[in-house]
Chains A and B, each alone.
Chain A
Amino acid sequence: MEPIYLDNNATTRVADEVFQEIKPYFCDLYGNPSSMHIFGGQVGSQIKQARQRVADLLGCSPGEIIFTGCGTESDNTAIQGTLAAYPNKRKIITTRVEHPAVLAVCRELENRGYTVVELSVDRDGQLDLAELDAELNEDTAIVTVMYANNETGVIFPVEEIAKRVSAHGSVFHTDAVQAVGKIPINLVESHIDLLSLSGHKLHAPKGVGVLYVRKGTRLIPFMLGGHQEYGRRAGTENVPGIIGLGKACQLAQVAFDVENKQVKALRDHLEATLMTTCQGAMLNGVKEKRLPNTTNISFEFVEGEAILLMLNQFGVCASSGSACTSGALEPSHVLRAMGVPFTAAHGSIRFSLSRYTTQAEIDLVAEKLPPIINRLRELSPFVPK
């Protein structure tokens, strides 16, 4: 059965163009770019081109791009590297809805004596910037706020936040793993100091990420060793990954139109259909200011894992914020931070589309899901008669 893949916020398929581009770098052009021979050295020029392509997508200069092993490494480097650069500042500001790659780091740092403030979100998943203003002080080393939420797709006003943070003399980092490639980002006139992205979320392979470090930003390297990445991230380059990411960024630049028209139209259609055809459906996250590919819908009184496994019968891949799917006993920290009631949090489903999603696939989900919800509601003891 062909999968109907609507879990693109988890990972994406590698674009054909990307795959073609990186193929030679496994068995033929396998040299080490640091080597003192042309066989290795020729690879270096390809990495340079990839760096330029990433910079073009973000609107920054190639010297501001550090290739890393993944989004999580970028986040770790950004936060810990900044704290190491400002040893006298002891406060970190983040949000309650960050990805674990940020949240777990902040909480570990709290154990090591840092003060960590987690900004709250409202029922729509939005921040109150007055809370940020109240917390910013001269002790604040870094503020790290995600560009867009992986579960709900809600986009935070990071440019505005960056401006306020910068006015306070603190460093601003954003985990833009879900945003890059889906919405245009232009760092030319931005106050963002550090930005993380991950290759496999935008049709590049897994195992490559980027940390953008704005020129003039102080950062102590996290990985020590060789002189790669101008000495800012040691370790032999993941050559195929980097070249693939470069190509994926080039493709993303021309795909924004597709993302914001075709993908968004399909998402909106799916969302509108399910909201009217499925009983007890409610949208999680503000409707506007959201990634064009993501929708997170709760189905009251039914449980997410059961929905996913019923969908799985038809090859449909999605994800859920229910407790059962994670092996934890409590539902998603994002939905809980938003105050989504338990009646709905356990039954939340995230569909995340990509430029490869077709109308036929969306139609199939729209057709199959309502009877699944009805069936599970019939089984549920909670549905009001």
Chain B
Amino acid sequence: MWEYTDQVWDHFYNPRNAGEVENPDGVGEVGSLACGDALKLTFKLGDDARISEAKFQTFGCASAIASSSVLTEMIVGLTLDEAAKLTNKEIADKLGGLPDQKMHCSVMGMEALEAAIKNYKGEESSTVSIHGHVVCTCFGVTDDEIKRVVLENELMTVEEVTNYCKAGGGCGGCHGEIEDILEVVQKDKIQKVSHKAAPHGKFTNIQKIQLIQQTINEQVRPALRAHGGNIELIDVDGDKVIVGFRGMCAQCPSSDFTMQGVVESKLREYVSEDLVVIESKEHSAE
């Protein structure tokens, strides 16, 4: 059971401003049914160019509903410039904090607000368009979004990034890329994860193959398993590692990402920097 604050309970049981503003000036929609939470925010500007009315519709858990509800209270009376500066941290703080794994609910609020403001300015449609490139294909999270939550919330680990924006919470194929983003954004603050091959020095072919198998078992398979997929080590030919994807991974269009993102980077990290991963399509036909 989650430990929610009294403010979260209050906003969940007595949501403020639920519904849709009539003839809204701005509409922002984020999230999806597949992701398990979504928010549609509508607002109207008053004659003083301040937000005079804001309403929400949310599909999601208690903290998603509470975050949306408190957001509508926070933005009424603000100019759009002021509202645009609102961070997810301020939303969470207003609720007296959220459980770590629920921080993405506050991020959803911030993103919906951002989308609604852009929609008002005529910059784009009400749904968030993609900025940057998609890092997490499971939840459709881009590098720009990840950078922002990392910066605003001083995140240091992949797990924290997952809690804040869901990126990396599905197959895990993007963990390497998220680590890279963390390193770029946080620079010296982060303990640098060495991507240099483990200090094994020289090893025999048998040792190398065993280490490859072990790395696949421990570092790669659990992530694929989470998505109903699997991987099989078929052969090792010099520095070429031949693998086959099984189950749901076999037909997955993003298995190229998965292969690049996880298998190769993990093998290079744990075994040898020279390894190249090749997918065998023949063996995955079963």
Write the residues of chain A forming the contact surface with B, with a CB cutoff of 8 angstroms: 96, 107, 110-112, 301-306, 309-310, 313, 322-325, 327-331, 336-337, 342-343, 346, 378-382
Contacts and interface: CB of A to CB of B under 8 A. Distances in A.
Contact of B33 (A309, A327, A346): A346
B27 to A, nearest CB: 10
Contact of B19 (A310, A343, A378, A382): A378
B18 A306 contact: no
14 contacts: A110-B221, A111-B217, A301-B33, A303-B60, A306-B64, A322-B36, A324-B37, A324-B61, A329-B166, A329-B170, A336-B228, A342-B33, A379-B59, A379-B65
Interface string B60-88: 11101100000000000000000000000
B37 A303 contact: yes
Given A303-B64, A313-B13, A324-B60, A381 B226 contact: no
Interface residues on B, range: 35 or more
B176 interface: no
Contacts of A301: 33, 59
A41 B59 CA distance: 61
A261 to B, nearest CB: 34
Nearest to B38: A381
A250 to B, nearest CB: 34
A380 B58 contact: yes
A382 B58 contact: no
B33 A331 contact: no
B114 interface: no
A110 B166 CA distance: 28
Nearest to A96: B228
A309 B59 contact: no
Contacts of A327: 101
B115 to A, nearest CB: 13
Contacts of B58: 379-381
A306 B33 contact: no
Contacts of A313: 13
Nearest to B31: A381
B218 A346 contact: no
Interface string B160-183: 001000100110000000000000
Given A301-B33, A309-B12, A382 B59 contact: yes
Contacts of A329: 35-36, 139, 162, 166, 169-170
Nearest to B100: A327
B36 A323 contact: yes
Nearest to B20: A381
Taking each of B12, B33, B58, which has the highest tally of chain A beta carbons within 10 Å of its own beta carbon? B33
B169 to A, nearest CB: 4
Nearest to B29: A381
Contacts of A112: 217
Interface in B32-68: 33-40, 56-62, 64-65
B208 interface: no
Given A107-B225, A342-B33, A381-B59, 14 more contacts: A303-B59, A306-B60, A306-B65, A324-B102, A327-B101, A342-B34, A342-B36, A343-B33, A379-B15, A379-B59, A380-B59, A381-B29, A381-B39, A382-B33
A322 B13 contact: no
A322 B61 contact: yes
Nearest to A347: B59
B158 to A, nearest CB: 13
A306 B12 contact: yes
B36 A303 contact: yes
A110 to B, nearest CB: 8
B87 to A, nearest CB: 22
Contacts of A309: 12, 61-62
Interface string B211-238: 0000001100110011010100000000
Contacts of B36: 303, 322-324, 329-331, 342, 346
Contacts of B222: 107
Given A313-B13, A382-B33, A306 B62 contact: yes
Nearest to A324: B61
A306 B221 contact: no
Contacts of A110: 221, 230
A382 B18 contact: no
Nearest to B226: A330
A310 B65 CA distance: 12
A382 B56 CA distance: 12
A379 B60 CA distance: 9
B206 to A, nearest CB: 15
A111 B57 contact: no
